[in-house]
Each structure stands twice: as structure tokens, then as C-alpha cells.
């Protein structure tokens, strides 16, 4: 399937909208999930939130062991307070990477396209980082909202320079 949906980049206002709950998994939601997976494969990403292709709905997709999962109405909870600070990137913030503090372990729950509810602990730091990153998108946040305002300004300046936009 030819994917027509572009990945939105900052400062597109849809990226700062809080996601709406998915009430019913209909064909529109299934099509959206398919598009999200296609886009993620094309760019070799690990995860993508619906708002990143223009639909502020509470869903994201993620890749785990070469398999794609669709997480609908997800929740991500920390299970301890240990923090890791690792570099991450975002498809909506092309050209920059930044060190972002994240909880090492989280617990994730979501329903899939078939309506099955999943609850799982995530103790791999990389996966925990990804889940927190995608959850930020559903809350209308970007990765740099997790750093100090000083660091955020530095990142914004770098982003503007790399992407050559004025504002």
C-alpha cells in the first residue's frame, strides 16, 4: 500500500494536542494503524504516535522483536523511581538528538486492534524509554518537554538551525 500520510514535524500544532480516547475500533482506526506501521517501516523507526501523521487519537504503534504492535488507549506507569538519561531522537524533530531523563522501568497497558487488553512490565530501559516517548506524544508533548527550559532553548535553537526555519 502506498502511504500518503506525511510525518508531521515541529511546530505543527497537531503535535501539541492532547489525544482523544479511541471509542471504537472501526475501519478508520484500522486504516490509520496500517498507515502508521507502513510509515514506521519506511523510516525504520521504533514507534509512532497517531498525532504524528495528523490524527490526535490515543494510539501509537511500536516495534518489538521485529513485530509491530498497535497500542490503543495506552497507559504508561512508572514502577520505580530509577532514572536513566539516554540519547533519543524523534521523527517529528528531524536532525536533532538529545539526552532525555526517563524511568528505567515502566508498566504499560493498552488494547490491541482486536480489543484484547494487554498489561506488561517493561524492564528493558530502551523499550521503557520508547513507551514514555510515545506517551508524551499522546499528551501533546515532545521529548524536549522533559528537560530544563535552558536545555530546551538550546535544543530549539539547534532544531531551527538544522531545519532552517525562522520564528
**Shortest approach of Zn ion to residue 142 CB, angstroms?**
7
Separation in Å, CA 61 to CA 113, 164, 167:
11, 30, 32
Residue 51 found at the interface with Zn ion (CB under 5 A) = no
Neighbours of 79 (CB within 10 A): 14
Neighbours of 23 (CB within 10 A): 9
Kind and range of the H or E run holding 41: helix 27-43
Residue 128 found at the interface with Zn ion (CB under 5 A) = no
Is 88 one of the catalytic residues?
no
Q: Locate cell 497500542: which residue?
A: 71
Residue 90 found at the interface with Zn ion (CB under 5 A) = yes
Q: How many helices (H) and strands (E) does the chain have?
A: 3, 7
Q: Which residue's C-beta sits nearest to Zn ion?
A: 90
Span of 13-21, 82-90, 107-115, 116-124 interacting with Zn ion by CB under 5 A: 82-90
**Shortest approach of Zn ion to residue 109 CB, angstroms?**
20
**Shortest approach of Zn ion to residue 91 CB, angstroms?**
6
Binding site for Zn ion (CB under 5 A): 90
Amino acid at each position: 500500500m502506498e502511504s500518503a500520510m506525511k510525518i508531521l514535524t515541529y511546530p505543527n500544532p497537531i503535535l501539541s494536542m492532547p489525544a482523544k480516547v479511541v471509542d471504537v475500533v472501526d475501519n478508520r482506526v484500522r486504516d490509520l494503524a496500517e498507515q502508521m506501521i507502513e510509515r514506521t517501516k519506511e523510516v525504520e523507526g521504533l514507534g509512532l504516535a497517531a498525532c504524528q501523521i495528523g490524527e490526535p487519537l490515543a494510539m501509537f504503534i511500536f516495534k518489538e522483536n521485529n513485530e509491530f504492535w498497535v497500542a490503543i488507549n495506552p497507559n504508561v506507569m512508572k514502577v520505580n523511581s530509577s532514572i536513566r538519561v539516554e540519547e533519543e531522537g524523534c521523527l517529528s524533530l528531524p536532525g536533532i538528538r538529545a539526552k532525555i531523563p526517563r524511568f528505567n522501568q515502566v508498566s504499560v497497558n493498552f488494547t490491541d486492534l482486536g480489543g484484547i487488553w494487554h498489561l506488561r512490565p517493561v524492564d528493558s530501559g530502551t523499550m521503557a524509554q520508547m513507551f514514555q516517548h510515545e506517551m508524551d506524544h499522546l499528551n501533546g508533548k515532545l521529548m524536549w518537554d522533559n528537560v530544563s527550559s535552558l536545555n530546551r532553548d538550546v535544543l530549539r535553537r539547534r532544531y531551527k538551525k538544522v531545519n532552517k526555519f525562522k520564528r
